[in-house]
Amino acid sequence: MDVLADVLRGLRARDAFLLRTVMDPPWSIRVRDAAPLSITTVVRGEAWVAPDGGAPALLRPGDVAVLRGPDPYTVADHPETPPQVVIHPGQRCTTLGGQELTETMALGLRTWGTRPDGATALLTGTYASSGAVGAGLLAALPPLVVLTAADGELPVVALLAAELDRDGPGQEAVLDRLLDLLVIGVLRTWLGRPGAQPPGWYRAYADPVVGHAVRLVQHDPARGWTVAGLAAATGASRAAFARRFTELVGEPPMTFVTNWRLTLAADLLSDTGLTLTAVARRVGYSSPFALSAAFKRVRGVNPRDHRATA
């Protein structure tokens, strides 16, 4: 089974936001749009990208950065340049003082900035909801992934840049699929290179016992899994299985099962109209009350409030 295909299976951009940004230094943009996943690539010039609490990374032409939300981050000509623009949820743009900039800095179709031939040109795409990204992918990502041009060429970048200038029938669907392809290309290279730090369950896929158990849970979360049942399904003793699973994945089997179910439930609540009863049934809880209790215990909020916020 293709491990990466499993991780990327949920990636389906729907009405994603895509924009070409052109800026002259000094410039700094504070992004607070709360998007679950964003991707930025440099077409011309240089840019620094800095997630909150993380080290800034320099992007040059052909480099691509993937940022896992919803935490804010900053994109700038230099890490010390103070922000001049704030991007809010819904892609509303203002100054730090709240003055609207969405229209005043518009430069044409899907283009925004100081002037059309500014020194720096970026392409940015954001996913509107976590359901469009998928629980497995979000779980696999650190706050920032950077792929440099030296790591491998991504032809889809040039295609995406060209398609941003078009406005024909079905154009939004074309851009959505190209954004998916760009993210897949970056992550396929990143996960395969030395030094990558994917989550424990991803690394455990290669283990014939634990990897099989992880796939069973991910493919059938509604089943009444127990440690004994997973051990039997993988041909291992209960004690040996539990020890091996915890060592490789970094958490006990039933903790993994619970976290995976609740991650899927969060996506379903955010991105579907399913009732709480239907969501509970899909992710292995006997009733909406059981799901609500687990959701509140682990995530600190009840499912209905999570849905309302999303």
Give 76's strand partners: 28, 48
Tokens of residue 249, six digits: 């994945």
User: Which own/partner pairs from 55-63 qualify as long-range (CB within 8 Å, at least 24 positions apart)?
Assistant: 57/144, 57/146, 59/146, 60/148, 60/149, 61/149, 62/148, 62/149, 62/153, 62/154, 62/157, 63/146, 63/147, 63/148, 63/149
Let me know if 179 is exposed, middle or buried by CB neighbors in 10 A (0-12, 13-18, 19+).
buried
**Residue showing tokens 């000094």:** 26
Domain boundaries, the chain: 3-192, 202-309
Residue 296: per-residue pLDDT: 93
**Pairing, β 73-76 against β 92-95:** unpaired
Tokens of residue 73, six digits: 């981050």
pLDDT in tens, the chain (310 residues): 455 666 666 667 777 888 899 999 999 999 999 888 899 999 999 999 999 988 999 999 999 999 988 889 999 999 999 999 999 988 899 999 889 988 888 888 889 999 999 999 999 998 876 665 665 667 667 889 898 888 877 888 888 888 888 888 888 888 888 888 888 888 888 877 766 667 777 778 889 999 999 989 988 999 999 999 999 999 999 999 999 999 999 899 999 999 989 988 887 887 778 899 999 999 999 999 999 999 999 988 889 888 887 6
User: How many whole angstroms separate alpha carbon 11 and alpha carbon 60?
Assistant: 26
H runs (alpha helix) in 144-223: 156-163, 171-192, 200-204, 210-219
Contacts with 109 (C-beta within 8 Å, 6 or more apart), sequence order: 164, 165, 167
Sheet holding 47-51, edge to edge: 57-59, 47-51, 73-76, 28-31, 85-88, 92-95
What DSSP element (H or E) covers 57? strand 57-59
What is the pTM assigned to this prediction?
0.73
Residue 170: per-residue pLDDT: 85
Residue at 2: amino acid letter: D
Residue 174: per-residue pLDDT: 87
Radius of gyration from C-alpha coordinates of the chain: 21
> 3-192 falls under which CATH superfamily?
Regulatory protein AraC (2.60.120.280)
Q: Which CATH number among 1.10.10.60, 3.40.50.170, 3.60.20.30, 2.40.30.170 corresponds to the domain 202-309?
A: 1.10.10.60
Contacts with 289 (C-beta within 8 Å, 6 or more apart), sequence order: none
User: How many whole angstroms separate alpha carbon 55 and alpha carbon 109?
Assistant: 33
